[in-house]
């Protein structure tokens, strides 16, 4: 039941929580004296209230009513804790409407310091301490080294800079930087800087952070919505005195947490109360919806300053809070911060004192211009005045400076006001911290939580009572949490340097990663050159001149016209699976029954006889299962290897590819080899009518649905393409009218060195380790049999550079073919990418950080993107050839595609299509994924052959 009115206190509650911390005599002891003070008012004096002094009982009422407003009950603190926790979990879940009161911003800090960080770093702190910025020179000495005291300098920021154009602020910061560095014996080059920027920011990386909104007295124009790291980099460049690399930006709470004294930490919560207030903590990454990460922890900046759940804060907000907010730079925002932050406590006290003075309760009912002017009472004043011991004297001194004459009991009353405002701040801060502790208990499923909280900010540094009130209240609100409070070393400067060291290491790793992947990033010129070189090789191959493209006639002259009919057997050898198919072609369409059989490696690399006997065994097994034994159906043989065909049913194997290496086959007519194997098998009769390449089978199979399909493309274990060429351009086949399907065997493109400019050392590693080094260059940069290996070699290289896996390769990662190409498809799947990376690499015995996971994802993306672009450049060359063959301004054509990589990789097909659009803009190309594989195509080629044969006999 929300608290509406200020409810009655149970005695113990009122005792426990009466406005003031220990050391203060109960207020009512003084109540009767308050009234009497007023009597001394000076009638008619300027700044003094005219309507006469309140009677004693009224003034005590007034004082009590005033101070009562700052009372926060235990129940209210619990409600604030619960509501804040609710908002935190809402924001973590990514729920945006209703906008949760707190922001929960991931900071890209994934681990607390290892302590191994070393090096010299410049730290720039802006925003934590209000109208000043601080520059530090921090030397990290790692675990062994002796801690070096950082050198630092504070610079006051002129008010016009805090409220002026953003560029002015960043130029001011850059100026302070060089002024500070000028005083140090340091190089002007290669300095690394950590930027502590204490405002709510959306971070997209350790060095990319966009300001959401200013807080705490800052309101520079042209900064909100901008990347503050870039603004600082630009200002440093404009300054031109030093070349400083801004490698990390952190919120001051993160610097505080990371700056936890080694040995006592690690601290997993960073709590700052300075001009503003906020906290960060290490959350389980899987609970942060915006992060695609399921392991490890990430530091989240709560930004609780914007907590403003009117339901629970409404009853706690006083009229003075509303007045302060109205006059602030950001009315309506940071309401919670304005009750806790050091920038506001002085102002709250001033407003209360002014109110009581104007009501004649204080200073004889007299105010002063200073008392009525904004910001005239600072946090320091409050802290000094509220000190039970020395405070009274300070009250007199401070208020005299404000032009006020302070009566005897005025001082005490002022102290009560200071204490009430201060205590409420500490208690509210405690409620917020208790919410973070409850969140940690939830996310770690721990009933009893032991945690170290790093504290930072001048409220903690200069006013120890704030911490004791906070501690006392946290114990009340989170009794099951064992919390140790650790003051942060030099206000977080060390912590910022730690994060900077981590960022510097990651930035160096990123540079090495970019250098390693740069050769995989092909630009338009390079791709256009591949298209042109392929075109040239096609023409040479068709003419029978030396070319890495054999451009093999397939004796398929037409795509199906839909009149084909009958039952056909088909074999599909050369892809991931060997299949035997029964293809029934009727008027109603094509019905396929198939069975997958494996080709063990020892058979694929055994003797040719063994291989073909194995094929016939499978056919016989299939016929038995399909009740076809003894039937001699026309058979179409999809044989996905380079064959020089002399006819539809004659194909001389030129060389094996894709891991096949059966002996005594190259140079042989594989149809004969099959027929001989059939011959060796008693009682089996098969009528081998046609041998087709899988590209041709795929084109025919898709052509059956779409007659514009005149190109066949395979991107699977291997890669290749075929297309319908003008017969007149095919030197090897007589005739100059009509078309002939040409099997390009583009896998071998570049075997003549024409791709060497693009080949990387990783391609060379893969080629050397293959069973056909120097062969199938294009295929080895594109197809499924090789992409995984390319990635594995890159990962080994990056591990050797210390960029990945802390430089520790595992035995398994050094195992050939252990990184399957299908991993790329899984890893690059938009959803769960990093989780996939982690799952796959942990299976390979690798323990990895989230940065490792990200880099592995980028390696996979670079390798598959290059493959898809090269494939697209090849298709562009083919469709452009067809368009020019036909002298068309624009060509509309379809490409039948098959192959596991093309079908399963999440982005491959769209990257191929995009590259074709870019390199063949005058061709409208539709890619048709073949549903039934090329076995159907082989059957259709057989059906066409049978139809033509029947017509020939008629």
Q: At closest approach, how far in Å is the CB of 945 from ligand G6P?
A: 18
- Which is nearer to ligand G6P, 422 or 641 (by Cβ)? 641
Segment contacting ligand G6P (CB under 6 A): 271-279, 406-414, 574-582, 941-949? Answer: 574-582
Residues 566-605 that bind ligand BGC (CB under 6 A): 574-575
200 contact choice in ligand G6P, ligand BGC, none (CB below 5 to 8 Å, kind-dependent): ligand BGC
β-strands 269-273, 297-301: how paired? unpaired
78 in active site: no
One of 312, 714, 824, 941 touching ligand BGC (CB under 6 A): 714
Q: At closest approach, how far in Å is the CB of 120 from ligand BGC?
A: 26
* 930 contacts ligand BGC (rule: CB under 6 A): no
Distance CA 742, CA 711 (A): 9
* 718 contacts ligand BGC (rule: CB under 6 A): yes
Residues 709-768 that bind ligand G6P (CB under 6 A): 714, 716-717
One of 933, 939, 940, 941 touching ligand G6P (CB under 6 A): 933
215 contact choice in ligand G6P, ligand BGC, none (CB below 5 to 8 Å, kind-dependent): ligand BGC
One of 576, 661, 687, 885 touching ligand G6P (CB under 6 A): 576
Which pair of structure tokens corresponds to residue 187? Answer: 């190089």
Taking CA atoms, 912 is separated from 301, 523, 698, 725, 895, in Å, by: 42, 14, 17, 22, 12
* 559 contacts ligand BGC (rule: CB under 6 A): no
**DSSP per residue, 493-559:** HHHHHHHHHHHHHHHHHHHHHHHHHGGG---HHHHHHHHHHHHHHHHHHHHT-S-S---EE-S--S-
One of 694, 710, 789, 880 touching ligand G6P (CB under 6 A): 694
Residues 262-281 that bind ligand BGC (CB under 6 A): 272, 274, 276-278
Q: At closest approach, how far in Å is the CB of 941 from ligand G6P?
A: 13
Q: Taking a C-beta distance cutoff of 8 angstroms, is the pair 272, 439 a contact? A: no
Q: How many residues does the chain have?
A: 954
* 253 contacts ligand BGC (rule: CB under 6 A): yes
Distance CA 439, CA 281 (A): 10
640 in active site: yes
Region of residue 566 (phi > 0: left; psi between -120 and 50: alpha; otherwise: beta): left
Distance CA 387, CA 337 (A): 23
Q: What share of the chain is helix, strand, coil (3-state, %, to 5)?
A: 45, 20, 35
Cross-strand pairs, 650: 647
Q: At closest approach, how far in Å is the CB of 679 from ligand G6P?
A: 25
Taking CA atoms, 1 is separated from 76, 101, 313, in Å, by: 11, 20, 14
* 251 contacts ligand G6P (rule: CB under 6 A): no
* 745 contacts ligand BGC (rule: CB under 6 A): yes
- Which is nearer to ligand BGC, 779 or 852 (by Cβ)? 779
Catalytic residue among 579, 792, 835, 883: 579
Catalytic residue among 694, 767, 851, 852: 694
- Which is nearer to ligand G6P, 453 or 715 (by Cβ)? 715
Distant-in-sequence, close-in-space partners of 574: CB < 8 Å, separation ≥ 6: 638, 639, 640, 641, 658, 660, 694, 717, 718
**Contact mark string toward ligand BGC, 175..204, x via CB under 6 A:** -----------------------xxx----
Distant-in-sequence, close-in-space partners of 98: CB < 8 Å, separation ≥ 6: none
Distance CA 898, CA 749 (A): 20
Select the residue whose beta carbon is closest to ligand BGC and give its number: 718
One of 107, 376, 443, 695 touching ligand BGC (CB under 6 A): 695
Which pair of structure tokens corresponds to residue 891? Answer: 């060509």
Distance CA 648, CA 654 (A): 16
- Which phi and psi (to 5°) does residue 128 adopt? -70, -40
The SS3 call for residue 220 is: coil
* 701 contacts ligand BGC (rule: CB under 6 A): no
784 contact choice in ligand G6P, ligand BGC, none (CB below 5 to 8 Å, kind-dependent): ligand G6P
864 contact choice in ligand BGC, ligand G6P, none (CB below 5 to 8 Å, kind-dependent): none
- Which is nearer to ligand BGC, 306 or 850 (by Cβ)? 306
* 934 contacts ligand G6P (rule: CB under 6 A): yes
Segment contacting ligand BGC (CB under 6 A): 90-98, 716-724, 789-797, 857-865? Answer: 716-724
Distance CA 715, CA 896 (A): 11
521 in active site: no
One of 113, 259, 716, 933 touching ligand BGC (CB under 6 A): 716
Q: Where are the alpha helices (DSSP H) in 774-849?
A: 777-782, 784-800, 821-827, 833-843
The SS3 call for residue 774 is: coil
Distance CA 296, CA 110 (A): 7
Distant-in-sequence, close-in-space partners of 132: CB < 8 Å, separation ≥ 6: 154, 155, 156, 157
Q: At closest approach, how far in Å is the CB of 613 from ligand G6P?
A: 21
How many residues belong to the site for ligand BGC (CB under 6 A)? 35
One of 21, 110, 217, 899 touching ligand G6P (CB under 6 A): 899
Distance CA 879, CA 869 (A): 15
Q: Which residues bind ligand BGC (CB under 6 A)?
A: 128, 198-200, 215-216, 251-253, 272, 274, 276-278, 303, 305, 337, 574-575, 640-642, 657-658, 693-695, 714, 716, 718-720, 745, 747, 779
Q: Which residues are catalytic?
A: 579, 640, 694
Q: Which residues bind ligand G6P (CB under 6 A)?
A: 572, 574-576, 638, 640, 694, 697, 714, 716-717, 784, 898-900, 933-935
């Amino acid at each position: 039941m929300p608290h509406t009115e200020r409810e009655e206190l149970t005695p113990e509650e009122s005792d426990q929580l009466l406005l003031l911390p220990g050391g203060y005599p109960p207020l009512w002891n003084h109540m009767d004296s308050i009234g009497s003070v007023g009597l001394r008012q000076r009638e008619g004096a300027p700044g003094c209230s005219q309507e006469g002094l309140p009677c004693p009982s009224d003034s005590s009422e007034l004082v009590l009513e005033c101070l009562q407003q700052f009372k926060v009950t235990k129940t209210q603190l619990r409600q604030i804790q619960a509501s804040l926790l609710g908002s935190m979990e809402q924001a973590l879940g990514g729920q945006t409407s209703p906008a949760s009161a707190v922001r929960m911003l991931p900071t890209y800090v994934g681990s607390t310091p290892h302590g191994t960080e070393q090096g010299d770093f410049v730290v720039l702190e802006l925003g934590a301490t209000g109208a000043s910025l601080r520059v530090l020179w921090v030397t990290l000495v790692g675990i062994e080294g002796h801690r070096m005291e950082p050198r630092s300098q504070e610079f006051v920021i002129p008010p016009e800079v805090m409220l002026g154009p953003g560029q002015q602020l960043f130029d001011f910061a850059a100026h302070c930087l060089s002024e500070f560095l000028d005083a140090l014996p340091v190089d002007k080059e290669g300095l690394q800087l950590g930027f502590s920027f204490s405002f709510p920011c959306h971070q997209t990386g350790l060095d990319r952070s966009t300001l959401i909104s200013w807080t705490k007295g800052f309101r520079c124009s042209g900064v909100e919505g901008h990347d503050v790291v870039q603004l600082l980099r630009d200002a440093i460049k404009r300054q031109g005195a030093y070349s400083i690399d801004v490698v990390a930006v952190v919120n001051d709470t993160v610097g505080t947490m990371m700056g936890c004294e080694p040995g006592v930490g690690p601290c997993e919560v960073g709590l700052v109360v300075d001009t503003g207030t906020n906290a960060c903590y290490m959350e389980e990454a899987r609970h942060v919806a915006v992060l695609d990460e399921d392991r490890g922890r990430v530091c989240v900046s709560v930004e609780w300053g914007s907590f403003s759940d009117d339901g629970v804060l409404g009853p706690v907000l006083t009229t003075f809070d509303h007045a302060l907010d109205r006059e602030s730079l950001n009315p309506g925002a940071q309401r919670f911060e304005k009750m806790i932050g050091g920038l506001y406590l002085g102002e709250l006290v001033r407003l209360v004192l002014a109110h009581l003075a104007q009501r004649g309760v204080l200073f004889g009912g007299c105010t002063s211009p200073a008392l009525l002017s904004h910001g005239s009472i600072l946090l320091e004043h409050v802290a000094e005045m509220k000190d039970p011991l020395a405070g009274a004297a300070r009250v007199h001194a401070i208020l005299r400076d404000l032009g006020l004459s302070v009566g005897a009991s005025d001082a005490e009353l002022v102290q009560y006001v200071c204490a009430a405002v201060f205590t409420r701040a500490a208690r509210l801060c405690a409620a917020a911290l208790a919410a973070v502790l409850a969140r940690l208990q939830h996310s770690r499923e721990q009933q009893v939580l032991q945690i170290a909280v790093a504290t930072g900010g001048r409220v903690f540094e200069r006013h120890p009572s704030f911490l004791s009130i906070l501690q006392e209240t946290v114990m009340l609100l989170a009794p099951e949490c064992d919390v140790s409070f650790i003051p942060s070393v030099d206000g977080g400067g060390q912590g910022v340097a730690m994060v900077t060291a981590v960022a510097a290491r990651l930035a160096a790793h990123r540079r090495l990663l970019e250098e390693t992947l740069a050769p995989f990033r092909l630009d338009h010129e390079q791709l256009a050159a591949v298209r042109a070189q392929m075109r040239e090789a096609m023409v040479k191959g068709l003419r029978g001149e030396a070319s890495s493209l054999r451009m093999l006639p397939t004796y398929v002259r037409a795509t199906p016209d839909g009149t084909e009919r009958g039952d056909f057997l088909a074999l599909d050898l050369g892809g991931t699976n060997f299949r035997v198919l029964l293809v029934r072609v009727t008027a109603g369409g094509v019905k396929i029954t198939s069975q997958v059989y494996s080709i063990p490696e020892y058979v694929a690399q055994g003797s040719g006889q063994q291989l073909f006997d194995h094929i016939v065994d499978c056919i016989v097994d299939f016929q038995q299962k399909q009740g076809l034994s003894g039937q001699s159906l026309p058979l179409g043989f999809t044989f996905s290897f380079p064959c020089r065909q002399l006819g539809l049913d004659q194909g001389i194997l030129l060389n094996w590819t894709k891991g096949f290496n059966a002996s005594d086959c190259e140079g042989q007519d594989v149809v004969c080899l099959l027929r001989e194997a059939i011959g060796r098998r008693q009682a089996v009769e098969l009528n081998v009518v046609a041998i087709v390449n899988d590209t041709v089978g795929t084109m025919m199979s898709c052509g059956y649905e779409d007659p514009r399909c005149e190109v066949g493309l395979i991107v699977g274990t291997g890669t290749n393409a075929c297309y319908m060429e003008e017969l007149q351009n095919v030197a090897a086949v007589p005739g100059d009218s009509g078309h002939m399907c040409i099997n390009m065997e583009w896998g071998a493109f570049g075997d003549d060195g024409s791709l060497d400019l693009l080949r990387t050392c990783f391609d060379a590693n893969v080629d050397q380790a293959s069973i056909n080094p120097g062969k199938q260059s294009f295929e080895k940069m594109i197809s499924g049999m090789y992409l995984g290996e390319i990635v594995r070699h890159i990962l080994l290289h990056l591990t050797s550079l210390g960029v990945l896996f802390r430089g520790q390769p595992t035995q398994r990662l050094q195992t050939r073919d252990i990184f399957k190409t299908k991993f790329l498809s899984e890893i690059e799947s938009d959803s769960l990418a990093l989780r996939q990376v982690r799952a796959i690499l942990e299976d390979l015995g690798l323990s990895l950080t989230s940065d490792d996971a990200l880099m592995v994802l980028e390696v996979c993306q670079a390798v598959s993107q290059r493959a898809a672009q090269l494939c697209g450049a090849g298709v562009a060359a083919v469709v452009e050839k067809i368009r020019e063959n036909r002298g068309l301004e624009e060509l509309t054509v379809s490409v039948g595609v098959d192959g596991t990589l093309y079908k399963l990789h999440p982005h491959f097909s769209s990257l191929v299509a995009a590259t074709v659009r870019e390199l063949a803009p005058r061709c409208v190309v539709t890619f048709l994924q073949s549903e039934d594989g090329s076995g159907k195509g082989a059957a259709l080629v057989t059906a066409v052959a049978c139809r033509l044969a029947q017509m020939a006999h008629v």
